[in-house]
Amino acid sequence: MKAIRLRAAHLFEPLGLGIAAPRLFWNVEGGVRQTAYRIVARRDGAPVWDTGKVASSRTTHIPYEGAALRSRDRVEWSVAVWDENDSEGESATSWFELGLLDPSDWTAQWITGDYEPARDVRYPVDHFRREFPLRRPVRRARLYLTAAGVYEASLNGSPVGDIRLAPGATDYRHRLQYHAFDVTDLLEANNALEIQLADGWYRGSIGAYGVTNVFGRRTKLLAQLELVYDDGSAETVVSDADWATRRACTSATGWRPPSSATPCRAAHPCRRRPPPTCTTR
């Protein structure tokens, strides 16, 4: 018997978990009935949890009870199971990685376009761009992104992730979720990170009557790229006033006809803005 479909917090190999002690799940194949299991978890190769052999048929909602985990920790965990004949099967392995668990982990600043939005006027997407070099070979790179609006990101012309309309619908008065992306393989010697920001549910035309500016009039972006080099040193590229911004020339955002588009603007420095009245976790 072997454990399959290993999941943490219901997710397969999740990146950017906001739960310091996720619950673990698996299914089994081969045999008739699981009679025991053993979970072993490691962080940076060092053991942080070993359940030993546990007599149980349980395969769901098993809480992580190892050493306390911190933001950005990556944990590899394995499961071995015993069948109805008390025969131990081959171990199966998976992993999960925590995101930014504490607000103080965020050093990025909220940025917005260089214009004052007018009432009942629709605007094209805002484009943000930041160029940066790599100082040495990179071991790991994580991009943490959220917005008051919806965004698409690219690094050196390649899409970042496959999520559409990120970060998704939410009640901006209470919560603003973020996504974490592994962008290690997208990096080059000289890099350009570009993000397009549209109205979405934040200020777009939504509902049966096309109401706009439901949560606010000014869209905002928060981006934090964390680089860990092979020598163990680290560097962070964050959204701030050093980013360039411009407006698209093609169409208005949201679900209105493109005739409401405003002219394209040349690139300008970004403007810092306070965050929406909600959490970023």
Q: pLDDT-derived band of residue 267, with 50, 70 and 90 as boundaries? A: very low
- Residue among 73, 78, 253, 92 nearest 180 (CA): 73
Over residues 54-71, the pLDDT tens digits come to 999 999 999 999 999 999
3-class DSSP string for 209-226: CCECCCCCCCCEEEEEEE
Q: pLDDT-derived band of residue 271, with 50, 70 and 90 as boundaries? A: low
Q: Residues 18-44: what's their mean pLDDT?
A: 96
Q: How many CB atoms lie within 10 A of CB 110?
A: 23
Over residues 245-254, the pLDDT tens digits come to 887 654 444 4
Q: Give the full edge-to-edge strand order of the sheet including 124-133.
A: 158-159, 150-155, 190-198, 124-133, 244-252, 268-269
User: What is the DSSP secondary-structure string of 124-181?
Assistant: EEEEEEEEEE-SS-EEEEEEEEEEESEEEEEETTEE-SS-SSBT----TTTB---EEE
Q: How far apart are CA 149 and CA 81, in angstroms?
A: 46
pTM attached to this predicted model: 0.86
CA distances from 107 to 34, 235, 236, 238 (A): 47, 12, 9, 7
